[in-house]
Structure 1
Amino acid sequence: MNCTFSIFSKRRRAAGRADRSSSAGFTLMELLIVISIIVILMLIAIPTANTIRKHTNEVSAQKSLQTLEQAQSMYVTNYPVTGFACTLQALAGDPGSGAPSATSAQLVPGQLATGIKDGYIFNITNCVKSTANNSERVTSYTLTAVPATVGKTGDRGFCIEAGGAIKADPAGGTNCTQMVQ
């Protein structure tokens, strides 16, 4: 009896091993279901990520306009005869190239000085000049930030006039009529 029991046990263990080895992996159907779930989650997440990226770019553009506005205030204080700067290059400059000047004031960081930052294009427009004592002085300007690709890098354009508040153009241009909160 003891001998019969041991043979029966060996057969049972061998059968159990065979069952475990055939069910140890995933079936094709299970893999397809998992891949389908991953694809669905990605389709939900990608548009959300793009929306977040555009919003982040818009906030960065507004902060960059504030930085440029502060640089303009410092520029007019440092160079009262010239008035405000009419180019980003006048606000920028390399500190290693010598002392600041009216054409290279070294007030704006490098990336912003190029006019392109975080999917937005920056510019100084509408410079108003007045002549006094045979020298021109810039008395007014408008700072603009427009998306490099409307709908992809940002949805709204932004503007700020000398000493004013930031306004937005919902179409992504420079026709800024809406106040930004």
Structure 2
Amino acid sequence: MFRTRSGESGFSVVELLVVVAIILTIVAIAVPRMLQGRVKATEAAAISSMKAIQNAQQLYSQIYPDRGYAPTLAYLGISSSGACDSPTSACLIDPVLASGIKGGYIFEIKGDGNTPVAGYTLTATPDGSHSLGSSQCVFESDQAGVIKSRSVGPQSSGTLVSVAISQTGCGK
């Protein structure tokens, strides 16, 4: 701080601009890292939910061997009446996950169409609800239990491109 010609003390415009520049530099460094952390947390939660669904599928196939695996997520959840312990509402996963949307991801099970259901495909796709810090990672699995991932993102033309599925994660 220094004295101005009129005898009043205060900050000069240059000093204020330097402070603003420093603050903007700190924000420019911190925000991308924060968003990257949010994406990683969302992806980790999706993988955790997929593991819960896989465990529920294994248990379902043991409880209802004549039906095999559950053909949809709804079969693993609770019925609208709150009933449990039936093949169409086994109450093996929480109602939020059974609805198919949780933590920024859309979960879907597709049975193989056989009776009993001998195989299924489990997919977790980003729901796009978070415009900043959204994951571009789709997770897939089946009755073998291996969770695989693929990156999906816009190209310059605006179309979505699928990258080869790998077991190492997205964007690596």
Unaligned runs of 5+ in 2: 154-160
Partner of 1:109: 94
Aligned to 1:171: 152
Distance 1:95 1:71, change over 3 A: farther
Structure 1 residue 100, shift from structure 2 partner: 2.1
Counterpart amino acid of residue 165 in structure 2: T
Question: How big is the shift at 1:24?
Answer: 5.8
In angstroms, what is the RMSD of aligned CA positions? 2.8
Q: 1:26 and 1:117, CA in 2 relative to 1: closer, same or farther beyond 3 A? A: same
Code of the aligned partner of 1:84: Y
Partner SS state of residue 146, structure 1: strand
How many residue pairs match? The answer is 156
Report how far residue 147 of structure 1 moved.
1.5
Distance 1:24 1:75, change over 3 A: farther
Gaps of 5+ in 1: 1-17, 131-135
Tell me: CA distance 1:23–1:76, structure 2 relative to 1, closer, same or farther (3 Å).
farther
Change (3 A) 1:175 1:164: farther
Q: 2:35 aligns with which of 16, 39, 50?
A: 50
Question: Does structure 1 residue 160 correspond to structure 2 residue 172?
Answer: no
* TM-score, normalised by the number of residues in structure 1: 0.73
Q: Is the alpha carbon distance of 1:145 and 1:95 closer, same or farther for their aligned partners in structure 2, counting shifts above 3 Å?
A: same
Distance 1:116 1:106 in 2: 17
1:180 paired with 2:159, answer no
Q: What fraction of aligned residue pairs are identical, expressed as a percent?
A: 33
In the other structure, the counterpart of 2:116 is: 137
1:78 to 41, 58, 63: 63
**Residues 158 and 176, structure 1, Cα contact 8 Å, conserved in 2:** no
For 1:57, the aligned partner's letter is T
